[in-house]
């Protein structure tokens, strides 16, 4: 990247961080940003490619298909339709998804589990090549899952930094161009200051390592739906978490133009007595984003978090009724796959119908990204909620 371009990136990030200094200081506390100077964001060898990849994924009318479930979680999905958790069955299901004709019209990226990144179709074609043929960017889940966080209030932290640089380099050689790291924050458990800091720091280190190895990092601190709290409490926690995340992203010299975010929508807890409308969820979510996310970030790719297929689409649509500083789109797993799986039932004769079901959901969310979706004609199956308390991948 040219020096002038780098200076623009640095100036943009510096001015945003300066605005966050006042936000992060609590009454009666010492200044969090004393006389320290803002870190300079350095241009690495992949900077231009990272920015190009992020923009490609954040393209109008398209979003991300998340099929990065661990083998254990994929096994639970297969068990729901009576299939054993074998590599052959996992490969057959992923082949169904990744070879859907025309999928690239609505999907710009696909997050894969490590097993899938190295798999091929039954005809011998690599899955990454199937995606490229549809102009879909292959991505890879790089975290190693959640474990208990000592010293916290029964909270978790995400492991996987050890060996991440070498693994990321290998994933890049295999064709991956973006990465995903999911950590979680629980409102019923606090969240504690320790858990929030650990989540933010881990995400920032992962993001820096990913960019050093040519992968656009998806930054995902999922605020779990668990709890009976009101939407105002979710907003409060989300603002706190994202302020911490961006503070540490800057500390680790992460280039904001070369990342994507995967936030939770700001909703009431799943067990709250009152459900919020799509317009209310859009209002609170966009308020949080405008307060915390610099416009340098190219894309906001929401997770569905157990919402029904229709709920996730309606909420996304509500957020795109007026222009936003970023591409506001989707990175859905269950909210794209639920109907597909139930249509397939593990039967070869149902593959075409299941692929058509995937295109229906992908198109619906494509329209929502453009602010043009209507739920008219949606079937009852697509309206069923998929929230699972304490859900893990």
Active site residues: 220, 262
Spatial neighbors of 55 by CB under 8 A, at least 6 apart, are 298
> Phi then psi for 28, rounded to 5 degrees?
80, 0
- Helix (H) / strand (E) element for 299: namely strand 299-302
Tokens encoding 281: 């969820």
Q: Number of helices and strands (H, E) in the chain?
A: 13, 10
Q: What angle do CA 306, 265, 289 make, to 5 degrees?
A: 160
Tokens encoding 212: 């050093």
- Tokens 């640089």 map to which residue? 165
The closest of 144, 134, 66, 175 to 74, measured between CA atoms, is 66
- Cα(292)–Cα(241) distance, integer angstroms: 9
Question: What DSSP line would sit under 363-375, residue for residue?
Answer: HHHHHHHTT----
Spatial neighbors of 263 by CB under 8 A, at least 6 apart, are 220, 221, 222, 223, 238, 242, 285, 289, 300, 302, 303
Q: How far is CA 56 from the centre of its chain?
A: 16
- Helix (H) / strand (E) element for 219: namely strand 216-223
The closest of 165, 151, 171 to 68, measured between CA atoms, is 171
- Cα(166)–Cα(212) distance, integer angstroms: 11
User: Helices 231-251 and 278-292 sit at what angle, rounded to 10 degrees?
Assistant: 30
> Phi then psi for 169, rounded to 5 degrees?
-60, -40
DSSP state of 326: S
> Phi then psi for 111, rounded to 5 degrees?
-90, 125
Judge if the upstream peptide bond of residue 246 is cis by omega within 30 degrees of 0.
no
């Amino acid at each position: 990247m040219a020096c002038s371009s780098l200076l623009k990136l640095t100036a943009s990030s510096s001015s945003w961080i300066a605005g966050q200094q006042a936000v992060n200081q609590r009454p009666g506390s010492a200044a969090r940003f004393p006389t320290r100077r803002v870190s300079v964001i350095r241009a690495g060898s992949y900077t231009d490619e990272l920015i190009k990849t992020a923009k490609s994924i954040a393209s109008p009318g398209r979003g991300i298909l998340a099929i990065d479930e661990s083998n254990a979680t994929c096994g639970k999905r297969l068990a729901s339709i009576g299939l054993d958790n074998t590599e052959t069955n996992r490969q057959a299901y992923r082949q169904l998804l990744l070879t859907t004709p025309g999928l690239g019209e609505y999907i710009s990226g696909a997050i894969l589990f490590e097993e899938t990144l190295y798999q091929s179709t039954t005809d011998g074609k690599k899955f990454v090549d199937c995606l490229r043929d549809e102009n879909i960017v292959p991505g890879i889940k790089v975290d190693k899952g959640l474990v208990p966080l000592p010293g916290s209030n029964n909270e978790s932290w995400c492991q996987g930094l050890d060996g991440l640089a070498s693994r990321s380099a290998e994933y890049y050689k295999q064709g991956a161009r973006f990465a995903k790291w999911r950590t979680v924050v629980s409102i019923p458990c606090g969240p504690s200051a320790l858990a929030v800091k650990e989540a933010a720091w881990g995400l920032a280190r992962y993001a820096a390592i990913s960019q050093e190895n040519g992968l656009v990092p998806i930054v995902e601190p999922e605020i779990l739906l668990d709890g009976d709290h009101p939407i105002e409490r979710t907003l409060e926690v989300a603002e706190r978490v994202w302020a911490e995340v961006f503070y540490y992203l800057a500390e680790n010299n992460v280039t904001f133009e070369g990342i994507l975010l995967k936030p939770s929508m700001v909703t009431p807890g799943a067990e709250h007595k009152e459900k919020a409308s799509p317009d209310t969820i859009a209002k609170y979510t966009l308020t949080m984003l405008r307060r915390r996310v610099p416009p340098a970030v190219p894309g906001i790719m929401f997770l569905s978090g157990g919402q029904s297929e229709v709920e996730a689409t309606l909420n996304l649509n509500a957020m795109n009724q007026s222009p936003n500083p970023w591409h506001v789109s989707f990175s859905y797993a269950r909210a794209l796959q639920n109907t597909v799986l139930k249509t397939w039932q593990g039967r070869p004769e149902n593959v075409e119908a299941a692929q058509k079901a995937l295109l229906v959901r992908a198109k619906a969310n494509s329209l929502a990204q453009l602010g043009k979706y209507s739920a008219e004609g949606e079937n009852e199956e697509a309206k069923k909620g998929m929230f699972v308390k304490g859900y893990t991948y």
